[in-house]
Structure 1
Amino acid sequence: MTMATESIGIGEIEDMPTGLKSGSVLLKPVEMVSSIILVVIIGLLLMGVTSRYILSLPIIWVDEAAAFCFLWLAMLGAVIAIDRNEHLRLTLFLHMFPERLRGFFSALGPLLVAVFLFGMLWPAIEYVIEESYITSAALNIPMSWRVAALPVGIGLMALLALRETVRAAKASEIAAAAAVIAVAGALLWLVSPSLPPLGHINILIFLVGFVAFFLAIGVPIAFCFGLGALTFLTVTSSVPTMVMIGRIDEGMSSLILLSVPIFVLLGCILDATGMGKAIVDFLASLLGHVRAGMSYVLLGSLFLVSGISGSKVSDMATVAPALFPEMKRRGHKPREMIALLATGAAMADTVPPSIVLIVLGSVAGVSIAGLFTSGFVIAMVLLLVLAILARWKARSEVMDGIRRAPLRLVGKALAVAAPALVLPFLIRSAVGGGVATATEVSTIAVLYALIIGMVLYGGIRPSKIYDMLVETAALSGAILIILGTASAMAWALTQTGFAFKMAAMVTDLPGGWITYMLVTIAVFMVLGCVLEGLPAIVLMAPIMFPIAKTLGINDIHYSMVVVTAMNVGLMAPPIGIGFYIACKIGNVSPDEAMGAIWPYIGALFVGLLVIAMIPALSTAYL
């Protein structure tokens, strides 16, 4: 299993486990450079951690050097993701169109991406020129060396988008799509003088209407945001496009986000070495003999494995193949198993090291240590409500021939799983206790998992390591480019003053903070269905979090509500993308599983309301 993307008829998800994908031969040098950069980043961070905590000699230039490499990794990874068609996009509505229109949109989508990227290329070059006058504090070199990654990545992606256009459509469809774009551009230029007086109506037109249209025709989410923001700024304001490049740079360059690719790599190592399966086998030997035992094992495995991988899809792909055969033998229906798998993955997304929590901390300025500590407790609340429902559902489970595992077998399974079991608690305690940052812990965890995996779990082939590095670069690029363009769109939205008006409107609602919590739950459940977690957070956090603060809501408490609501939406059919991933992993028809998941969604929603109404659940252990 690797973390890649694949069209599944409903959407494309950034970490769908589909087996290693191969990019085009022309991109092999980019893949090689990206993998080298990732190794350099990990080496730099390990050197910094070792020097700081063992030798007590902090190296001041390590973070700066890592930041230089990080932007290059993000942009080259985004290039690889385009080459492999691994950018997150929604295809639900695209498949509803007649075949003739689908052919037209298959040309229009990548051509719009190419137009956006070529439109950003010169501003990116200007940005590099501007940054050349600034010298870095520690390395004392021009900052243009870092931001040169932007035009290089944008240029390569633009060429690949054009190649995809030619590959995906007929010449007549490409010509029609180009004509539509040209006519639309001309019309926007003609009406642009009359648009600024429309005020906030422009938000509905460009940042809602245009983006929704781009989503519906299958444009990758990152470029939906970019196209919406670029069009909005170009035709309704006099803001230079280079400012947008600056916002993209800022959105994807936070040092906190350095832990994202490293935790992605950790998930790959977890799968390749079989550490996750060892945890599943131990829990099965411990709980497999009780009624609903395998459901408990599935939920417990998702809870513990998520504390290593940081990816809900990686969690599902590790747990399902190990447990589903035995669950079927005991009479569990496949649709019920899928429902439990999907909602269990949603529950586990607050268990550190959740990538969603890391991104949220970066975007909203919330303590990562606080999020990790609270997330562990909140996941326990959701685990409890799902376990209660699973027990009730298992009242007719077939237990014939099921015996308690011998103590010797349990001990053997524990001995095998112990090195893997240590890892999630090491990560949580180190970050939550303030011993080390999430980035530092992630590098230590990768080194630990690599050594333990090689010594105790059979090791990893060198060719497999290279493949994992490339997959990590591609997935990280796909994630980070979303963060960059969503940050640009969020900035464009806040510059209109819309956030202040929304704050005034919400604070005047009756019910105070409770009403605002209910509004938040509704907003993020809907966004979770359509956008998945990361883009929804980047887009809405700058607007929603300041309002919550004015209403006296604790940042950590609010974060837990936001993430949980988003995950409920992510797993809710008929649009929730995570639900379809679970169906694909479990090889069950979505139509069959759709009816079974609603009781589990209801249980999660009950847990969400409890979390929202009882702040102490999120804050008592901080």
Structure 2
Amino acid sequence: MSTVSHSQDTAWEAAAPAWVADAERWLRRIVEIPAALLVAAEVLILFVGICARSFHRPIIWSDELASILFLWLGMLGAVVAIQRGEHMRLTFLVSMFSRRAQAWCETLAVGGVFVLLGLLMHAAYDYTLDQSFVEMPALGWSGMVRALAVPVGFTLAILSCSLKLLRHGWMDVIGVTLLLVMIAAGLHTAAPLLMGIGNWALLVFFVGLLGAGVLAGVPIAFTFALATTAYLLTVTTTPLTIVVGRMDEGMSGLILLAIPLFVLLGQLVEVTGMARVMVAFLASLLGHVKAGMSYVLLGAMLLVSGISGSKTADMAAVAPVLFPEMRKRGMKDGELLSLLAASGAMSETIPPSIVLIAIASVTGVSIAALFTAGILPALVLALVLAVVARYRAGKEEDQSVVPRAPRAVVMKTLLVAIPALLLPFLIRTAVVEGVATATEVSTIGIAYSLVLGLLVYRGGLSWRGALPMLARTASLSGAILFIVGAASAMAWALTQSGFSHALAAAMAGVPGGQVGFLLISLVAFIVLGSLLEGIPAIVLFGPLLFPIARQFGIHEVHYSMVVILAMGLGLFAPPFGLCYYAACIIGGVKPEAGMRRIWIYLGALFLGLLALTFIPWFSIGFL
């Protein structure tokens, strides 16, 4: 999630010719409609596959077709994310610049994406030709059918960036071009020196170049890929088809197909009113007690996290429903924001968390085991936050008595909410009992939500709203998948350089043995979560650190819980935590309102995380 998740046309872009806006609108339709249809097709294919298997007539080609469409979905979704400005970015530093400097940085962000795609375009074409020699075993199609998604996606993305650059001042475009040319010339000139210093050159590309790009607001995924491409071009003879191939491999793990499906499920839960009725029940049950509405928020985040898999979707489903009532009771905006952000960090391990899916994809840890293990640690942290919320309630809430809801009201809201409350249990049971895989189970949730939305709650579902919802799903999914692909390519480059072996040796020799390794991992992933975001950090460092954890005798599921919660803590911690700003946007609260208040919540979470780290039973006791 970026600090500016939906960047709109700004004042310095307003002078673009009318034909540019028309071209952008038509190009957006050309990309969004097939991307939306691909989301719907994936849902249908997987759901039909589950039904066919239930009747003992499995469709042997369904997974293969889903894999083909998935790469197309990922690439077209990434293009939609470029058009909408929804790729993950760190704009905290840029937002402090003058308006003129911000305009220049916006141009740099688009220019960096344009340059990367231009560098990789020929490699994408070569990679597609290489795949023509591959035949798919079930369908018998050429691998080119699938791989063609990469050059097509790059071409559409280049067109989108070109139109975006026409919205920027020509002086900014020239300045950015000169800067990029100077960087390229400097790296070319320094190539002999960089090759001579061995792995110290990694600092130039993966600390200096990458850090500068991220801080300047260039989308994180494209900064990863740019640093990797620059490294390979400057100090190695490795062809760039390797970058494209690794990106394809990183984006195409079938378990990652759960990401767009759970993003869609999260939107359905909000649109159908399921989130609203669950929150209404909790409010009638707990709203009258001291800190009652804070408890309701924590409980709602636990429930909704078990449905959507996306922290942004969780907060968007809960905050608009609860914040008005909490404000009426005297809670300040800063307190609301702090509690919302802390509850997002608290619930990172509630299945089907997208980070759980990513960690299973890159480390090979059992997804069923992760789904089982993730619930208790989140409950422990929820209890910790509840204690803090009660302490803070005496300082923040209006002390007037809120009447207890009559039992009849509680029972009525419970009866209304029961169908919605069953959804998270349905999802977890389907995975644990083997009815569906972690990838497929979201389609059961989608079908269930559609039935409830149409027949029970009769919420905001409409044919008119279907296309925007599917396009939004494609955009968010494309942004996530592209960053996984770019991080996979970067991880490969770091591994080939020997960095992974050096890191493994350093971590294996850490003083304090298992305890020392856990503490260093805790601090490292808090920092990584704050600076990078959870998924790229997992993709980059998961394959490196999990084998070391096994050497120390640390259970891989327990280590997964520690890592995920540590990243969640960093992800919601200002001033760099990206999801903290997502909470600000969703809650309609200025970031500075929570900068001081949030630390008591994050401090409590850190203490709870220490307990979870050194008491493995909370993570593996029910495996």
Q: Please indicate the TM-score interval, normalised by the length of the shorter structure.
A: over 0.9
C-alpha separation between the residues in 1 aligned to 2:437 and 2:546?
Answer: 23
C-alpha separation between the residues in 1 aligned to 2:173 and 2:24?
Answer: 24
Say whether the 8 Å CA contact 1:247–1:488 is kept in structure 2. Answer: yes
C-alpha separation between the residues in 2 aligned to 1:87 and 1:41?
Answer: 22
C-alpha separation between the residues in 2 aligned to 1:604 and 1:367?
Answer: 26
C-alpha separation between the residues in 2 aligned to 1:615 and 1:330?
Answer: 39
Residue 139 of structure 1 deviates from its aligned partner by 0.4
Say whether the 8 Å CA contact 1:339–1:597 is kept in structure 2. Answer: yes
Cα deviation digits, residues 145-182 of structure 1 (max 9, x gap): 001000000111122122222213x2122122212222
Say whether the 8 Å CA contact 1:4–1:475 is kept in structure 2. Answer: no
Between 487-496 and 87-96, the greater mean CA deviation after superposition: 87-96
Match of residue 14 from structure 2:
none
Match of residue 601 from structure 1:
602
Say whether the 8 Å CA contact 2:5–2:87 is kept in structure 1. Answer: no
C-alpha separation between the residues in 2 aligned to 1:159 and 1:8?
Answer: 17
C-alpha separation between the residues in 2 aligned to 1:254 and 1:322?
Answer: 36
Residue 287 of structure 1 deviates from its aligned partner by 1.1
Match of residue 435 from structure 2:
435
Match of residue 151 from structure 2:
151
Cα deviation digits, residues 566-592 of structure 1 (max 9, x gap): 111111112212222222322222222
**Are 1:504 and 2:505 matched, yes or no?**
yes
Matched pairs, number: 606
Match of residue 316 from structure 1:
315
- Alignment CA distance shift 1:329-1:184 (3 Å): closer
C-alpha separation between the residues in 2 aligned to 1:100 and 1:465?
Answer: 39
Between 569-578 and 373-382, the greater mean CA deviation after superposition: 569-578
Residue 399 of structure 1 deviates from its aligned partner by 4.9
* Matched AA of 1:557: H
Match of residue 613 from structure 1:
614
What are the equivalent positions in structure 2 for 1:54-93 lying under 5 Å apart? Answer: 55-93=55-93
**Are 1:376 and 2:339 matched, yes or no?**
no
Match of residue 551 from structure 1:
552
Between 554-563 and 90-99, the greater mean CA deviation after superposition: 90-99
C-alpha separation between the residues in 2 aligned to 1:359 and 1:393?
Answer: 35
Say whether the 8 Å CA contact 2:246–2:489 is kept in structure 1. Answer: yes
Say whether the 8 Å CA contact 1:310–1:352 is kept in structure 2. Answer: yes
What are the equivalent positions in structure 2 for 1:157-306 lying under 5 Å apart? Answer: 157-168=157-168, 170-306=169-305
Match of residue 489 from structure 1:
490
* Matched AA of 1:189: H
C-alpha separation between the residues in 2 aligned to 1:488 and 1:414?
Answer: 49
C-alpha separation between the residues in 1 aligned to 2:66 and 2:162?
Answer: 32
Cα deviation digits, residues 535-575 of structure 1 (max 9, x gap): 12112212221221221111111111111011111111122
Residue 38 of structure 1 deviates from its aligned partner by 1.4
Per the alignment, in what secondary structure is the counterpart of residue 439 of structure 1? coil
C-alpha separation between the residues in 2 aligned to 1:571 and 1:330?
Answer: 25
Residue 400 of structure 1 deviates from its aligned partner by 3.1
C-alpha separation between the residues in 1 aligned to 2:5 and 2:276?
Answer: 20
C-alpha separation between the residues in 2 aligned to 1:393 and 1:187?
Answer: 55
* Matched AA of 2:375: F
- Alignment CA distance shift 1:469-1:238 (3 Å): same
Say whether the 8 Å CA contact 1:267–1:314 is kept in structure 2. Answer: yes
C-alpha separation between the residues in 1 aligned to 2:45 and 2:141?
Answer: 18
Say whether the 8 Å CA contact 1:73–1:473 is kept in structure 2. Answer: yes
Between 586-595 and 608-617, the greater mean CA deviation after superposition: 586-595
Residue 34 of structure 1 deviates from its aligned partner by 1.1
- Alignment CA distance shift 1:146-1:183 (3 Å): same
Match of residue 583 from structure 1:
584
Between 102-111 and 278-287, the greater mean CA deviation after superposition: 102-111
Per the alignment, in what secondary structure is the counterpart of residue 196 of structure 2? helix
- Alignment CA distance shift 1:404-1:7 (3 Å): same
Match of residue 572 from structure 1:
573
* Matched AA of 1:440: E
Match of residue 29 from structure 1:
30
Residue 237 of structure 1 deviates from its aligned partner by 0.7
Say whether the 8 Å CA contact 1:23–1:80 is kept in structure 2. Answer: no
Cα deviation digits, residues 336-362 of structure 1 (max 9, x gap): 121111101111121111111111111
C-alpha separation between the residues in 1 aligned to 2:272 and 2:187?
Answer: 54
Per the alignment, in what secondary structure is the counterpart of residue 440 of structure 2? helix
Per the alignment, in what secondary structure is the counterpart of residue 92 of structure 1? coil
- Alignment CA distance shift 1:316-1:23 (3 Å): farther
Say whether the 8 Å CA contact 1:71–1:253 is kept in structure 2. Answer: yes
Cα deviation digits, residues 494-531 of structure 1 (max 9, x gap): 11111111111121122111111111111111111122
- Alignment CA distance shift 1:7-1:528 (3 Å): farther
Match of residue 423 from structure 2:
423
Aligned Cα root-mean-square deviation (Å):
1.8
C-alpha separation between the residues in 2 aligned to 1:406 and 1:412?
Answer: 10
Residue 23 of structure 1 deviates from its aligned partner by 7.0
* Matched AA of 1:372: F
Cα deviation digits, residues 353-374 of structure 1 (max 9, x gap): 1111111111121111111111
* Matched AA of 2:71: L
C-alpha separation between the residues in 1 aligned to 2:195 and 2:345?
Answer: 42
C-alpha separation between the residues in 2 aligned to 1:359 and 1:281?
Answer: 32
Say whether the 8 Å CA contact 1:263–1:309 is kept in structure 2. Answer: yes
Residue 401 of structure 1 deviates from its aligned partner by 4.1
Cα deviation digits, residues 586-618 of structure 1 (max 9, x gap): 222222221111110011101110111111111
C-alpha separation between the residues in 2 aligned to 1:42 and 1:4?
Answer: 26
Say whether the 8 Å CA contact 1:81–1:474 is kept in structure 2. Answer: yes
Match of residue 13 from structure 1:
none
C-alpha separation between the residues in 1 aligned to 2:314 and 2:271?
Answer: 13
Match of residue 364 from structure 2:
365
Residue 108 of structure 1 deviates from its aligned partner by 2.5
Per the alignment, in what secondary structure is the counterpart of residue 190 of structure 2? helix
Structure 2 unaligned residues grouped into runs of 5+? 11-22
Per the alignment, in what secondary structure is the counterpart of residue 89 of structure 1? coil
Match of residue 6 from structure 2:
5
Per the alignment, in what secondary structure is the counterpart of residue 403 of structure 2? coil
Say whether the 8 Å CA contact 2:452–2:458 is kept in structure 1. Answer: no
Say whether the 8 Å CA contact 1:23–1:84 is kept in structure 2. Answer: no
Say whether the 8 Å CA contact 1:4–1:471 is kept in structure 2. Answer: no
Match of residue 135 from structure 1:
135
Cα deviation digits, residues 434-483 of structure 1 (max 9, x gap): 33211111111111111111111114110111110111111111110000
TM-score (norm 1): 0.94
Say whether the 8 Å CA contact 2:61–2:139 is kept in structure 1. Answer: yes
Match of residue 560 from structure 1:
561
Cα deviation digits, residues 391-417 of structure 1 (max 9, x gap): 222235445342221111111101111
- Alignment CA distance shift 1:8-1:321 (3 Å): farther
C-alpha separation between the residues in 2 aligned to 1:500 and 1:32?
Answer: 45
* Matched AA of 1:85: G
Cα deviation digits, residues 57-90 of structure 1 (max 9, x gap): 2111000000000000110111111111111111
Between 467-476 and 194-203, the greater mean CA deviation after superposition: 194-203
C-alpha separation between the residues in 2 aligned to 1:434 and 1:522?
Answer: 36
Residue 6 of structure 1 deviates from its aligned partner by 4.1
C-alpha separation between the residues in 2 aligned to 1:309 and 1:405?
Answer: 29
Per the alignment, in what secondary structure is the counterpart of residue 584 of structure 1? helix
Say whether the 8 Å CA contact 1:307–1:354 is kept in structure 2. Answer: yes
- Alignment CA distance shift 1:502-1:183 (3 Å): same
- Alignment CA distance shift 1:447-1:404 (3 Å): same
